[in-house]
A and B are shown apart, each in its own frame.
Chain A
Amino acid sequence: MTNANGKFAAKKFDRRTVLAGAAAIGTLAAPGLGRAQTPTIKVGVLHPVTGALAFSGGQARQGAVLAIEDINARGGIRSMGGARLEALLADAQSRPDVGAAEVDKLNEAGAVAIVGPFASGIALATTQAAARHNLPHIVDVGVVDQIVTRGLTNTFRFGPGIGTIVDTALENLVRINDQAGKPTKTVMIVHEESAFGTGMATTLNQRLPQLGFEVMETIRHANPTRDFSNIVLRIQARKPDLIIPSNYYDEYVLFARALQQNRVQTKGIYSILGGGASSYRFVKEFPQAADLVMDCNHWFDPRKAASLALKNRIEAQGLFFTYEVFLAYSCMLLLADAIERARSTDKAAVTAALAASTFSDHIMPYGPTRFVNGQNQGARPVVTQVQQRDIKLIFPVEFASGNPVFPRPVGRG
């Protein structure tokens, strides 16, 4: 500070005043120094929260953050003196290259492990980037099987892969069809253009004829698709018994609305990882179009009190309880359990603890966790059906909250 003459303004301080002031400033700047410090453990929460996948990424982040809140509220990591988890939030911007770069940053920032990154394409890049740092990476959502077949020892996928999902979907489709007296013989597949939709369609085209279904046509559409009228025209002309859609939420909504507008009559809609069919938002906003739609997808265990409690919390925040939320939530619990048993933030120790995990205190219908080459062997999808404006779990029977309604009664759908 200078005075009008350009010289420093003199103000008399004695030594005691200076020391007292310094002590006061020190206290203000570091209020926690006066009490015992709770150690913190940094965990990376990496999702695409901007860009095309922002909705799903945001949902997944919310699930992971809620899990961290719950873990800390329960006393943190007890084996490490109640250490609290601290989320290092990262945005993959819906791009694999950005996701990989974020992994490097998270590693620099001291993350002990990463949970994320929602999408298969991003997961392929982030798991590889994490492997360079020997950083444990739990994949919450990402169904492409290459994620766990490249020999990356740091990578653990808690949910099921596409192979398991398609197997389960077809097994249950045959069962539902047989129980109803085999009303379905012909199928049309409508899928989105990425690796996820295209890979699924290829597998379905190979498997469905072996199971006695005729695939009348397979239609691939772009992301985004602005208009489904032509696709619906083709469906009306072909008159398949069953439609199998596999696409993201926005396209699923437009497709379902176009089907409803054109009064397309089929014996059923059986989605596999359908973008909207297992979404409470879809059911709420399109009750007519959603009625009796079936979907093979990720789903929580409706028998567990913790599942319903989390659902209520999410809905109280004005959010929808989607699979991104409960999978990311469970993955963060899985990581906390591994750190608890590792008693260390050493990456190798956490990786070893994950590999040996038998974690069962999650909210998915998986049973105890058991990783083989990074894939949780108990992970499996379920089949849901929209009934009376609610989503009922119809298969597997041990978790079921409703019975399948198939074929759709004439006039519904």
Chain B
Amino acid sequence: MIEFQILLPSIVNGLTLGAVYALVALGLTLIYGVLHIINFAHGSLLMAALYAAFFAHEALGLDPYLAMPLLAAAFFMVGYALQRWVIGKASHGKDQNVLLVTLGISIAIENLALYLFRADTRTIETPISYEMLDLGIALVPYPRAIGFVAALGIAALLWWTIERTDLGRAIRAVAKERQGAKLVGIDVDHVFALSFGIGTAVLGAAACLLLPSFYVSPGVGNVFVLVAFTVVVLGGMGSFTGALVGGLAIGVTESVGGLFLGQQLGQLGIFVIFILLLLFRPTGLFGSRLA
């Protein structure tokens, strides 16, 4: 059967696709882990980051990979400012308000993009867009291979930051016990904003890694964010390892499912996993590390 002949390359494809999902999910899981909110603006912020990477390439001639540190820094500031002066202020400390505020931000960003950039789909060509890495068992486009390695690197960096630095300790303290953290002198609002900023910075990096092999349009965030939510639930809300493993698992499920069940039903597997997890292991594979 043809499916078995191409099974290995299909799994490799799934892993590289899953790395993209993991990248998008990493920021989402950090924000959930600390702030205990589902950030509905995550997809819109990814879209904004993709546009930023696109215009950095088109207007300034910046290669997306070189633009990555710049965009990560810029989106850190965007995220910090959003949490500190918009979401934090407007939500008045109520989680349900945060949900509505992030939903509102999402609608505002999407429509602003539609107004400014029109609904046009935009893509870029880089010198490696058509280059393939020969792994022996499969050919992988270079942009995908770079995305895979970078996803591992970013997940490791986040893990190290949370586990080994004072900032990480503060974030964990706030995630675990807000009042206690406040009592020992941690500026909780600052840590919230820092966490949101880091989560958004990861999106800036993800956009740079995604753009060479994908496209950007005002609705592009929705293409990934639903899967990213599934990844976060699968891995365990607040867990970086979970987001990485969950992303890769979902990528392989989609790819192999598509191979045997057809491309359309392959995506069904993602949501079957989502429902099964909610039924049998609602805390996800790796539980909640931060909270």
Contacts and interface: CB of A to CB of B under 8 A. Distances in A.
Given A58-B118, A226-B17, A260 B130 contact: yes
Nearest to B263: A221
Given A250-B121, A285-B123, A227 B13 contact: yes
Contacts of B17: 226-227, 229
B253 to A, nearest CB: 12
Contact-residue size bin, chain B (C-beta under 8 Å from the other chain): 35 or more
Contacts of B218: 54
B123 A230 contact: no
26 contacts: A50-B114, A51-B219, A52-B219, A54-B119, A55-B118, A55-B121, A55-B217, A57-B119, A219-B263, A222-B264, A222-B267, A226-B223, A226-B224, A227-B17, A229-B9, A231-B263, A237-B2, A250-B215, A253-B123, A254-B215, A261-B130, A261-B141, A281-B120, A286-B123, A286-B125, A288-B130
Interface in B209-253: 213-215, 217-219, 223-224
Contact of A250 (B139, B217, B255, B263): B217
Contacts, number: 91
Nearest to B21: A226
Given A229-B255, A262-B132, A262-B139, A285 B114 contact: no
B6 interface: yes
Contacts of B141: 261
B262 A220 contact: yes
Nearest to A276: B121
B6 A219 contact: no
Contact of A54 (B9, B139, B219, B258): B219
A220 B263 contact: yes
Contacts of A260: 130
Nearest to A224: B223
Contacts of A222: 263-264, 267
A195 interface: no
Nearest to A225: B263
A188 to B, nearest CB: 12
Interface residues of A, number: 37
Contacts of B132: 261-262
A58 B119 contact: yes
Contacts of B6: 230, 233-234, 236-237
Nearest to A217: B2
A104 interface: no
B130 A227 contact: no
A213 interface: no
A297 B133 CA distance: 36
A389 interface: no
- Which among A224, A249, A261 has the greatest number of chain B C-beta atoms within 10 A? A261
9 closest A-B pairs by CB: A54-B119, A55-B119, A229-B13, A221-B263, A233-B6, A227-B17, A224-B223, A222-B264, A261-B141
B129 interface: yes
A253 B254 CA distance: 20
Q: A226, A230, A233, A238 — which one has the most chain B CB atoms within 10 A of its CB?
A: A230
A226 to B, nearest CB: 6
A221 B267 CA distance: 10
Interface string B128-161: 0110100000010100000000000000000000
Contacts of A57: 119
B259 interface: yes
A282 B219 CA distance: 19
A230 B9 CA distance: 8
Interface in A269-319: 281, 285-286, 288
